[in-house]
Every structure is written in C-alpha cells, then in structure tokens.
Structure 1
Amino acid sequence: MSATSNTYILVINGKPEGPFSIDELKAHNIKPTDFIKTEDMVDYKEAHEIAELRQLFGFSKAALLIQYYGSFDQRLTAAAIDLFFVSTVCAVLMFAGAMLINSQLIVLIMTLGLAIIIPIVNLVYHVIMESSARQGTHGKQLLQIRVCDMEGNRISFGNAAGRNLAKIFSLLPLFMGYLYIFFNKKQQGFHDVIAGTLVIKDRLD
C-alpha cells in the first residue's frame, strides 16, 4: 500500500486520535517524535521511524534508544514457552496422522521422528518470527522482548537464520555461549555476537 493511501492514528496529548489522511497529518504539524501508527501496525512508532513519513515530511531517522536488554531469565522463559507451543502442535498433528494409519510400525517411526521434527520446526519457526514485523516468537512477545540488529532495527530472514543456526556455538560446550549472557553488558549469547543481534525490551512497564 502506498503512503498516500494509508490512514494514520496519531497520539495527541496522550490519546490516540484519527484516523487521519496524509493531508490531515500535515495540518497537525507532526513532529519526528510524535507517536503514530497505521491500522496494519501492531504498535505505535515515533514518526521518524516510519519510512513513508520520513520521506513525506523530511524527517531523519534517529538511532533507537535501547532502554535495556532482554535478561537471561526472560529469554529462557520465552524459549520454554516456544518449545511447549511447537512440541504441542507437532504432537497433535502426529497423533491426528496416527489415527489414520493402521500400521503400528509406521506410528512408532512417526513417534520417534518427533525427536527430529520438533527441533527442525522450532528452528524454522524462530527464523520466520524473528525476521517478521513482530521481531520475535510468541514466547518473546509474551515476555515483551524482541530481536533486532545492533541499531535496534528489524533483522532480515538471512540474519535470523544465521542467528539461530549459530546457537550450536552457544550450546557447545556446556552451554557456555548462553552463560556468556551474564558477562557482557549487552547480554548477548555467542549466537548474538556472531549474528550481530540483540534481544531488547524497548520500554519499561
């Protein structure tokens, strides 16, 4: 959708108002730091963060102010939620398939195959979700943390894939790459350092 066909919700004196067209936004004299969103956006952003508005109003994009980083316990909790979610979906689909198959051998193979299928599905799920507009899995969203690059921007599909594949270096040996989170200011695991990513939480609740 082009910028000229979007309508925007603008926060005025702490309250969302609109929707406004581009011409109506111009009449409001919006500033780069005004909070604004389209109906398609999940959350509000400052006007300078939206490419269409930067182009139309001549705003320059300011570096994202990172308030604090996702902690080890937040990341661990999110990972547990995601693993439970993925495992449940895979198990339900396997059970549904087993109901349609009479061969006990095939059912046994399918059941044992979950040990391989679940990690693969979990990897793909993380790559897709972390490179999406939400910048995080459902577990991360529940914990209000997200994955970004070193400037706070959304990462690409390739970067998300590299980050998740690099988790092997955080797992071996003895989870040292995850323990490294405790010993650096930006709370990065080895896989974050390799991929040039951060796990952040933008605003304090």
Structure 2
Amino acid sequence: MESNYVVVVNGKPEGPYDFEQLKHMTIVAGTFVRKPGMDDYKEAHEFPELRALFGFSYEQTAPQYFASFDQRLLAAVIDYFILFLVYIVLLLCCFVFVKGQGERISFALLLLPLIPVFKFIYGVFAEASEKQGTIGKRLLSIKVTDMGGARVSIGLSFLRNLGKVLSVAPFFFGYLYSFLNKKQQCFHDVAAGTLVIKDRLI
C-alpha cells in the first residue's frame, strides 16, 4: 500500500506511513498529518478516512485558530484602502460634469461619508458569502463564522456589522475587548455570536 501520511509525533514529522500502519499508531483528533500535494499540515479529524478509522468527530474551530487583533485591523485597512481607491475613481469621473473648484470640493466632501456606508453593505454580503470574508480578510486567510465554525447567514452578518458601531464607541473599547476574550472576539462578535478564524500553520 502506498505510503501517504506524514505524522507529527512529539513536535517532529515522522513517516511517511501507509493507511495500515496508521491503524497501529496513537493518533488523536488534534494530531497533525500531511499527505502529498498539501501545502500545510491538517489535524487528523479533518481527514474523512481518519475520522472513520479512529472515530473522530469533525471540529471546525479550535482556540489556536482565532484571528488576532492585528490581522483583523490590517484586513480592515486593506478594505478601506480599496474602497477609497474606488471613491477616487468615481470622483474623477464625476468631475467631468462638475467644473467649478468650489463645487468639486463640496461634491467630494458630500460623497466622502458614503465610504463607511458602502463598507457596511459590502461587509454584510461578503461575510455571508461562500468566501466568508471581505477582500482584506481573504488576503490574510481569515474568515467570519458562527460559534460552530459554519458560514453565517445574511441576518447574522447584518447584526455583526451593525454591532461595529457600538464597538467603535467609546474609544474603540469594543475592538480592544478582543484582548480580554479567549476567542479574541470583539464586542460585535460577542453580540452576534460570531468568530473570526484563520488558516492554521503548524
């Protein structure tokens, strides 16, 4: 039988082993395993054949997989940067029809508050989509889930993004709350019952 599985034992990769050899090894749900073609290790419970062999249940989240505050902040900065670029392009297009300098300044200031509005709308639909995150989150390999690690609904995503208004005031305490939470949830995550998780690396 082909040897497909490299197993991390006491912090060191061992193998490769074939499926029959694995039957005689001590494999737990959290044991890191890798097969040919995989870029990174996965936990044993993520392999259907190992779940069937050892009787594991599939766990979609684990404490070490939660996205940190700096990852989430960087994702938000990327999203706002992209939206600001879109705003600039739209503004330049509108300036074709608005000629006076004073009118252009007034028009630019009038459209500026629309950026957080579009961010809210985009966030609601992006986080409830199949990708489970905005462009910024996807670039950092983090995504929004419910407490079980599953994709959120539009309604839950709306509640989460609406809760960000309360997370901002006062003094961004709702965001800083993530440092006091074991699952690194901000206030709006706690209110909506959501998590932000990341791809794991060994």
Normalization by structure 1: what TM-score? Answer: 0.69
Kept after mapping to 2: 8 A contact 1:149/1:196: yes
Matched, 1:99 2:113: no
Offset, 1:115: 2.5
The Cα offsets for residues 115-140 of structure 1, whole Å up to 9 and x where unpaired, read as 31111011111111111100011111
Which residue is 2:14 aligned to?
none
The Cα offsets for residues 25-66 of structure 1, whole Å up to 9 and x where unpaired, read as xxxxxxx8349xxxxxxxxxx999xxxxxxxxxxxx834143
The one-letter code sitting in structure 2 at the alignment partner of 1:69 is: F
CA distance in 1, matches of 2:156, 2:61: 22
Which residue is 2:47 aligned to?
33
Kept after mapping to 2: 8 A contact 1:135/1:147: yes
CA distance in 1, matches of 2:200, 2:192: 24
Decide whether aligned partners of structure 1 residues 90 and 173 sit closer, same or farther in structure 2, where only a CA change above 3 A counts: same
Kept after mapping to 1: 8 A contact 2:130/2:151: yes
Which residue is 1:148 aligned to?
145
Matched position secondary structure for 2:145: strand
Matched position secondary structure for 2:182: coil
Decide whether aligned partners of structure 1 residues 110 and 183 sit closer, same or farther in structure 2, where only a CA change above 3 A counts: same
Matched position secondary structure for 1:199: strand
CA distance in 2, matches of 1:47, 1:166: 38
User: Paired residue for 1:162, among 155, 159, 162?
Assistant: 159
Offset, 1:158: 1.3
CA distance in 1, matches of 2:158, 2:83: 18
Offset, 1:204: 1.4
Which residue is 2:27 aligned to?
none
CA distance in 1, matches of 2:86, 2:161: 20
CA RMSD of aligned residues (A): 2.8
Which residue is 2:20 aligned to?
none
User: Paired residue for 2:76, among 79, 83, 91?
Assistant: 79
Matched, 1:202 2:168: no
CA distance in 2, matches of 1:106, 1:114: 12
Kept after mapping to 2: 8 A contact 1:170/1:176: yes
Normalization by structure 2: what TM-score? Answer: 0.70
Kept after mapping to 1: 8 A contact 2:51/2:58: no
**Quick one: percent identity of the two aligned structures?**
46
Which residue is 1:64 aligned to?
60
Offset, 1:107: 2.6
Kept after mapping to 2: 8 A contact 1:70/1:145: yes
Offset, 1:87: 1.0
Matched position secondary structure for 2:190: helix
Structure 2 residues not aligned, in runs of 5+: 1-34, 39-45
Structure 1 residues not aligned, in runs of 5+: 1-12, 17-31, 36-45, 49-60
CA distance in 1, matches of 2:122, 2:51: 31
Kept after mapping to 2: 8 A contact 1:91/1:114: no
Matched position secondary structure for 1:166: helix
Aligned residues: 159
Offset, 1:186: 0.2
